Amino acid sequence: MNEFDQSIQELEIYGFTLLESVLDTDTAAAMREALIRCEQEHGTEHTHRGAARHVANLPVMDRIFHQTIDHPRVLPILEHFLEPSLILGSLNSRIVRPGDGYQDLHSDIPVYMLNMDTPVMMNTVWMLDDFSPEIGGTRVVPGSHKSGLGGPPEGFDVVHEIQPTAPAGSVIVFNGQCWHGGGANTTEDCNRHALFGHYRKHMLVFQLDPHDGFPEEWYEGLSERQRQLMRMQRGPGALHAADAHFR
């Protein structure tokens, strides 16, 4: 079974899959350095479900992040579940520092939008450091995407979560219904850097609008597929929210 077919089956059964070394070592390191610069200039303290640093709307921050939007090892998997008409809902970062604790396990999809046949959104976690439990790697609960619940019920003891371990440049792809959360960083001096590419079915609005502050001089460097995923076929700042604009 090839990587694509294996990934599809794992997503169907477990709700997530791991793609190792999607980015080479040098690219992952360069992206990490760019993220550190962006965090210093634009980072915010994030306390939703757990403490961490947050950098929002990365497509407008640095062009190096654009290659994650339509990566050929990742996008076809997303298209299989969300159809080729999908959009990039957002591309953000969550940086877990030494001493930051566990993020609450949760689904990214509201309970009223859960669908056992096909998710309305999927997420990707781009590892810019080697992921391990000690550095606060993302936790996932296999099979939880079919639970019909937005997270663990009160008092429920989740004993079967796992934390994928993989080198920098690897990517976790998961069904947005799959329970997940950041791990606790128990190291003394190592931040955990990761990007989160959030994709949605086309009828949904952006989580964060990539048109907001997108430098016009970067537009010519976008691939046609990147423009489609950011609803930017008519340039940054053009009317883009309604499907009718592209008919």
Residue 204 lies in a domain: yes
Per-residue confidence (pLDDT) for residue 129, from 0 to 100 = 98
DSSP states of 175-232 as a string?
ETTS-EEPPP---SS--B-EEEEEEE-TTSPPSS-TTTT--GGGGGGS-HHHHHHTT-
Residue 32 lies in a domain: yes
- State yes or no: pLDDT of 47 exceeds 90: no
Residue 50 lies in a domain: yes
| pLDDT, tens digit (0-9, with 9 covering 90-100), for 205-225 | 899 999 999 999 999 999 999
pTM metric for this prediction: 0.94
Per-residue confidence (pLDDT) for residue 117, from 0 to 100 = 87
Residue 182 lies in a domain: yes
Domain count, the chain: 1
Per-residue confidence (pLDDT) for residue 163, from 0 to 100 = 97
Task: Show the domain range for 8.
Answer: 3-149+157-242
Residue 247 lies in a domain: no
CATH code for the domain in which residue 226 is found: 2.60.120.620
Question: Please, which residues have CB within 8 angstroms of residue 242's CB and are 6 or more apart in sequence?
Answer: none
